[in-house]
Amino acid sequence: MPRTRICSFCGKEIEPGTGVMYVRKDGTVFTFCSSKCERNMIKLKRKSRKVEWTEAYRKEKAVRVK
């Protein structure tokens, strides 16, 4: 049974067979649903909580609204 992975950046589930895996020099493994997420986290060094289309942002916002 294929394992479902969660995107390290946007928090969405990644369908088996899709997505990209990124291993940093220090051994930390990231999985991304798309190169868009990879680019945002690795190249642009964005925090997922500050990017509108991520789960982390939605959660953060939901907490703040209360």
Among 15, 29, 33, 66, binds Zn ion (CB under 5 A): 33
- Of the listed pieces 22-30, 35-43, 44-52, 55-63, which binds Zn ion according to CB under 5 A? 35-43
Beta bridge partners, 32, equal: 20
Among 3, 7, 43, 57, binds Zn ion (CB under 5 A): 7
7 by Cβ neighbours in 10 Å (0-12 / 13-18 / 19+) ranks as buried
Residues that bind Zn ion (rule: CB under 5 A) add up to a total of: 5
Q: Give the C-alpha separation, 1 to 43, whole Å.
A: 33
Determine, following the binding rule CB under 5 A, whether residue 10 of this chain makes contact with Zn ion.
yes
